[in-house]
Amino acid sequence: MLGIIMLLAMVFDLSARLSEFIANKAPFSAIILDYYLNFVLYFGNMFSSMIIFVSVIWFTAKLAQDTEIIPMWNSGKPFHRFLRPYFIAATLLMLISLIMNHFVLPNANNTRINFEEKYYRESISINDYHAEYPGHQVVYFSNFYAENQQINDFVLEQWDEKKEHVVDFIKARTAKNISGTNKWILTDYYERFEGSPNDKLIHGSKKDTVFNFRIEEMAQRDNVAESMNYNELKRFIERERLKGSSNVPMYEIELYQRTSYPFAAYILTLIGVSVSSRKKRGGVGVNIALGLGIIFIYIFAMKVTTVAALKIGFPASIAVWVPNMIFGCIAYILYRFAQK
């Protein structure tokens, strides 16, 4: 099932991006190894719980349809004994997914995202940027374009420890960050050191300096968190929170979903077995249709809680687990009915 679904996803994605790959002269090896290999890893793992769910329903419904389950009940075995091999398999798959989410996929996503940046994504541009960085530094600029890696109308305010007064003020017509470092080059700048009686103003055409931030922290896509492992993402979230970034809930959702999604395998496995362990008029198709309906409701619940975390301040750590809690209760009810 995973192979078929990923193959279809690749075909649709390639049909949408083929012209861009050709126009940007993307190498065939990079398309296969850097993009589609990591594409399959990312999306296959993302939807693994739901694919497991459909597989459980199909397999169990086939057993029920062929009257393979009735002899098990007649032998006196309890329902939880029937569930044991399912949960052994679910545990194995859940552990694989956890390891993939926290340690393997970040490197794979980094390769995929770098390919996207190079061959088909539009260049990053930012307008009217404002953020606060650790050390009581407030940064403004009017715009930034990735093509020339240049910031226009750069302003930096250094506040005192109590954040009551500006002690250093720098304004430059342009600013460039030396890639991979904290070194910056300012042009057509002036700097004012405030504080009586040592208040002074300096003008210059060029200034080489060091700040405690890089351009990568300012110009980044929403999916940058996907390329970070657990520890990197935790540090990144803390720094973004200090900056007052509005994207912190989105990054927290990414962090917590890496754990909540794999655990959904248990819940969906229990639901799948419970709804498909009885022979139904209409055959396997009825069970699969019921399973797909449950999947759509589950996805809808995830989207609702995610929007609540992003838009109305609902805690991200709770939002990502609410669908599992709700469907965990549903799974228990279905399990109790299935025993009868």
- Residues of 245-282 as b/e, b for ≥16 C-beta within 10 angstroms? beebbbbbbbbbbbebbbbbbbbbbbbbbbbbbebeee
197 upstream amide cis, omega within 30 of 0: yes
Torsion sign over Cα 112, 116, 119, 125: negative
Choose between 87 and 214: higher pLDDT.
87
- Residues of 305-324 as b/e, b for ≥16 C-beta within 10 angstroms? bbebbbeeebebeebbbbbb
Residue with tokens 């169990």: 60
The total of other beta-carbon atoms located within 10 Å of residue 113's CB is 19
Tens of pLDDT, residue by residue over 191-234, are: 887 766 667 788 888 888 888 778 877 777 767 888 888 888 88
Q: Do 144 and 219 form a contact (C-beta atoms < 8 A)?
A: yes
- Inform me whether the pLDDT recorded for 57 exceeds 90: no
Tens of pLDDT, residue by residue over 238-292, are: 888 877 777 888 888 888 988 888 888 898 898 888 888 877 666 667 777 777 7
Amino acid residing at 154:
F
How far is the C-alpha of 272 from the C-alpha of 288, rounded, in Å?
Answer: 9
Choose between 130 and 111: higher pLDDT.
111
Q: Which are the contacts of 326, defined by CB distance < 8 A and separation ≥ 6?
A: 301
> Number of C-alpha atoms within 13 angstroms, CB side, residue 275?
26
Phi and psi for 40 in degrees, rounded to 5? -65, -40
Q: Which are the contacts of 44, defined by CB distance < 8 A and separation ≥ 6?
A: 2, 5, 6, 51
Amino acid residing at 255:
L
